[in-house]
Amino acid sequence: MNGPLGLKHWRRWLAAAGLAVTLFPLSAVSARADEDLAEGTLLVADKKLTDPNFEKTVVLIINYDDHGTVGLVVNRQGDVPVSTLLADTKAAKYRNDAAFSAGPVEPRSVLALLRARTGPKGAQHVAGDIWAILDQDLLESTLAGHAGPDRLRFYVGYAGWGPGQLEAEMDAGAWRAIHSNADTVFDATPETLWERVTRTMDLRVAGLLGLKAPVPLRSRS
């Protein structure tokens, strides 16, 4: 596996990409979310989005600028343990939690998200208590600090859109946007996250919840 990728690498890829990574019929009719796209925004796949790369996904935007958008799918946990993924990293030896399949771009890259009030030097602040670990040395030192999967999660690959591509997909109704928080990104049962978020958003649209009501993301027992 390759190590974490810096933003310069992403920007080179986005500049060279001449097509959208996600596929959605632009003739679809749906209202665009009111929230502005930005780092820390969560993209929730619409029920009509059937691209297997993104069907029923929740994507955290970790980079958004004039060069394009980079995000991580946060609700698709794979079956490869971190200890296997980072077999050459001593601090990963006892990590039995599985890495997440974060997107179809650079599928051999490994990234991490950290939940912390203050991130370590060199980490990229995404939003609130969410930090992105994009450097190999920083990843290893963070692992050595014994942060468990409730605070440190690993992602293989990422999702990417060139300039204007995500906005076009939003206008087409492929995605709905909400503001993220660490509880959502580090949800204890990510396999049901999309269903719970979608249910709550549908209730809001139907007027059964106030527009400023918090999203209940706890899974049912």
Whether the pTM exceeds 0.85: the reply is no
Domains of the chain listed by start with CATH number: 7-205 (3.40.1740.10)
| pLDDT grade for 214, boundaries at 50, 70 and 90 | very low
Dihedral sign (CA 151, 40, 160, 219):
positive
Give the per-residue pLDDT at 147. 82
132 token code pair: 């992105």
Q: In this predicted model, what pLDDT tens digit does every residue of 145-201 receive, in sequence order? A: 878 999 999 999 999 999 999 999 999 999 999 988 999 999 999 999 999 999 988
Terminal C-alpha separation, the chain: 36
Higher per-residue confidence, 48 vs 4: 48
pLDDT at 55 over 50: yes
